Chains A and B, each alone.
Chain A
């Protein structure tokens, strides 16, 4: 049985204007032409439900831009992205927190940013707190948290957002050894639940173990797309 497509990228390109300094209004009018850079060009990818896709490529090959456009954080310059289900990115876990608010208030704010309703957050609240393992700090303002605690809280909220498509990068193993084990277990659980997972990573062993499909990006284009053999192609070329 063929799984339905949950993510379809058609001819997606992304152009960035290179700004060495922030452009000012005056410069905009004086300098009519900006330097541009195509971070992605003509990407066609269709991903079926339950696929585990690893994206590899050298630095600057457009991996992060690709994930950002899939997550909807930025829009493609041309082309379309169609997706079914909720996409949650586990990149920039510590983003979207406010240092002056308490852990509780941050859980609500962060959850809503990820598209959860207040009711859902209240329902899962205990579970979010116990997963993040921050105990008595939950009522303390976030600036008293360690970096690891913030990451754990971010990870916990994100996985409770009930994603259908999960975007990961290699930093997803966050926190101390214990938490790293727990987060890997959770990722494996998502894999078992046949969630669609897209991973950007240089961590070849992890990709080989978890992914069923590898997309090799080079200079913003899909260089190769297939099973894990692509990893060897990539390593050889490097």
Chain B
């Protein structure tokens, strides 16, 4: 049993390393892109949005940048891992190994990007005075929820995509709608009160609000939001794990 877990983690790390290496292979800057990428994003957002959008949201640049970092991790992980099993069919045909490492390695490699970007981001916002000691547990909780939810959902979509290749297109389209259904370019208090129940179905709301609270001292998600979001997260994650375990035995039949 413990040997299985060790093999799983070793394989997961090896696949993650493969993901990162393959991405930055033949680039002049190599792994420096890990840092360069978020800096470029930051510059663009900071420069353009300052002139274009005038809002009442405090620290709007920082707000937008944080929300986009988190969202980009989520949407990129989801859209890349959904077709991953199909793309890695040669691995599936090779041997018996825990299939889950394929989508999970993509998510882990993106998560490493996110962590690096967030460390850089912390240097930027430290002068705002929004960070306190109590930010730490909130930020850690936000990271955990984000990571687990993204993994659970990706297990679901990547497993379903093996049989129904439509899932990939559906996810790409849905992510765009999802973007506007999440407080990223607007803040949570822009949502009209009578429609807030709609946002309760979107687990990304709580995750973003936790990040925004932890780093920029925006309000925490209210209790109703947190409870309904977490319930939905748990259902999606368990469904994802269940479907993946059930389908992964027969991936080879559909590839």
A residues touching B (Cβ–Cβ < 8 Å)? 16-17, 19, 22-26, 28, 68, 71-75, 87-89, 92, 95-98, 100-101, 105, 108-110, 112-115, 117-118, 141
Interface-forming stretch among B9-17, B50-58, B192-200, B221-229? B9-17
* A112 CA / B18 CA spacing, docked (Å): 12
CB distance B10 to A95 under 8 Å? no
User: Known: A24-B164, A25-B164, A97-B90. Contact between A115 and B18, CB under 8 A?
Assistant: no
> What interface size band does chain B fall in?
20 to 34
B contact residues around A73 at 8 Å (CB): 92-96, 252
User: Which residue of B is nearest A141, CB measured?
Assistant: B25
Chain B positions 14-43 with a Cβ under 8 Å from a chain A Cβ: 14-15, 17-18, 21-22, 25
A contact residues around B90 at 8 Å (CB): 92, 95-97
User: Known: A92-B94, A113-B97. Contact between A108 and B252, CB under 8 A?
Assistant: no
CB distance B18 to A98 under 8 Å? yes
User: Known: A96-B91, A115-B7. Contact between A75 and B249, CB under 8 A?
Assistant: yes
CB distance B91 to A113 under 8 Å? yes
User: Which residue of B is nearest A19, CB measured?
Assistant: B254
Query: Among A71, A74, A100, A113, which residue has its beta carbon within 8 angstroms of that of B11?
Result: A113
Shortest C-beta distance, A75 to chain B (Å), equals 4
Secondary structure type dominating chain B contacts: helix
Residue B235 CB within 8 A of the other chain: no
Shortest C-beta distance, A158 to chain B (Å), equals 9
User: Which residue of B is nearest A39, CB measured?
Assistant: B253
* A72 CA / B94 CA spacing, docked (Å): 10
User: Known: A74-B253, A100-B25. Contact between A113 and B95, CB under 8 A?
Assistant: yes
* A113 CA / B88 CA spacing, docked (Å): 12
4 closest residue pairs by CB, A with B: A72-B96, A96-B94, A75-B249, A74-B252
* A140 CA / B15 CA spacing, docked (Å): 19
User: Which residue of A is nearest B170, CB measured?
Assistant: A25
Extra contacts, 13 of them, besides A96-B90, A100-B25, A114-B95 (Cβ < 8 A), are: A25-B166, A71-B96, A73-B96, A74-B252, A87-B96, A97-B90, A100-B22, A101-B21, A101-B22, A101-B25, A108-B14, A117-B6, A117-B7
B contact residues around A113 at 8 Å (CB): 11, 91, 94-95, 97
* A26 CA / B167 CA spacing, docked (Å): 12
B contact residues around A89 at 8 Å (CB): 95
Shortest C-beta distance, B137 to chain A (Å), equals 34
* A8 CA / B182 CA spacing, docked (Å): 53
- Counting chain B CB atoms within 10 Å of each CB, the highest count among A87, A95, A97 belongs to A95
User: Known: A16-B253, A25-B164, A25-B166. Contact between A105 and B93, CB under 8 A?
Assistant: no
CB distance A100 to B91 under 8 Å? no
Q: List 24 A-B contacts (CB under 8 A).
A: A19-B254, A68-B252, A73-B92, A73-B93, A73-B96, A89-B95, A92-B93, A96-B90, A96-B93, A100-B21, A101-B18, A101-B22, A105-B17, A112-B10, A112-B14, A112-B97, A113-B95, A114-B94, A114-B95, A115-B7, A115-B97, A117-B6, A117-B7, A141-B25
